[in-house]
Structure 1
């Protein structure tokens, strides 16, 4: 037959057990506190409060995450500043290019307008035929520029009488020839007269048709008022 415990016994056991458990808890707390105190730092009568290991690790984790967050924020700010600077630089470059293009276009337009104006104002030198008609017309243009009077008909009639329109004509029989200065060219002028009345800008050649005509017309204007007034040897 088993032995049955009475209620008083159960209460006594329970109280004893509680005392044992409290002692164990006290010893365990002391041991835990001892493990948290660094060796050689505690002495008699000194109480050291040590933070729980889990709490310390949590603080360190928060600190690490804070540092990481701040580092990320700094990087984002730096990247944003770089992006803004790049955008501004690109906009400035585009504005500078647009300004340069506009200035170049304006200069090109101005140059074209100046060239067109110069082209319109420039009197183009006409091309004359290499024949009697062309020689007379070219001579008249030069005579007009030098204010030498004379007409096409006045030149033509005298040329036909003097040389028949032959620019290489030469008189080797008259008094001038006998004196060593024969008359030459379309209007049969002697060399001293040709040199004295030669018109600048024409060849210094007595046989040259245009040079011969304008020199003779210049001489006739000086002596007779105009080549038109010459109707015979002069």
Structure 2
């Protein structure tokens, strides 16, 4: 069997020990460096700004009460803004209504109201200038004055007293003897005519209308109506 001589183990000198220590130290440092190096995600997270915590007016973190107060203030501001908007809308509506009313008034002012038609003047009633016309006109006046009498009563007494002559004069009876003769359609003396003259008629004894109405007024006072007279009265 060959005789091999084993190599002698190498002696580690002080220099070798220092070098090995340095190598070990460098390896550990590299390992530590590799382990400590942050990943991309960790780097991004590290550089991201931290979430800002709300603080109160004094710089301290806000409490639940502060947040509740801020909520109330926010709601109050929102309510105020909403009220302002509603007020503005109401003002616009009122302004629009005022403008509409003003335009309506202006239109009414521009359109002048039509004048009410004047009532036609009453046409004076016309009467014939004869016995029939005199009696009819006298009856209208008597009716307006409340003096009773009819066409028949007047016509009958006129025909008996004067035969329809407005200028007839009685010169033979007692009145004529006394100086106050009877005159006109119904033979009336002047004193009686003056006492019973009807306003609105001529103050003339022989005027047909004045004579008839005065005689009818006297007969109504003494006999109740000219219709009740059938003879000298």
Q: TM-score, normalised by structure 2?
A: 0.53
In structure 2, distance between residues paired with 1:210 and 1:127: 14
Moved beyond 4 Å, runs of 4+: 97-101
Partner of 2:230: 231
Q: CA RMSD in A?
A: 2.0
Aligned to 1:125: 124
Once the two structures are superposed, the pairs formed by residues 98-177 of structure 1 within 5 Å of their partners are: 102-103=111-112, 106=113, 109-112=114-117, 115=118, 118-119=119-120, 123-177=122-176
Cα distance, 1:150 vs structure 2: 0.3
Task: Tell me the number of residue pairs that the alignment of Structure 1 and Structure 2 aligns.
Answer: 130
Q: Tell me the residue number matched to 1:193.
A: 192
Q: Deviations over 1:118-152 (max 9, x none)?
A: 32xx6543100000000000000000000000000
* 1:214 Cα deviation after fit: 0.2
Residue 207 of structure 2 is matched in structure 1 by: 208
Q: How far apart are the structure 1 equivalents of 2:210 and 2:186?
A: 10
Structure with the bigger percentage of helix:
1
Residue 149 and residue 123 in structure 1: after superposition, are their counterparts in 2 closer, same or farther (change >3 A)?
A: farther
| Matching of residues 34-113 of structure 1 within 5 Å | 102-103=111-112, 106=113, 109-112=114-117
Unmatched tracts of structure 1, length 5 or more:
1-96
- Alpha-carbon deviations, 1:128-184, whole Å to 9, x = none? 000000000000000000000000000000000000000000011111011111100
CA distance in 1, matches of 2:165, 2:214: 16
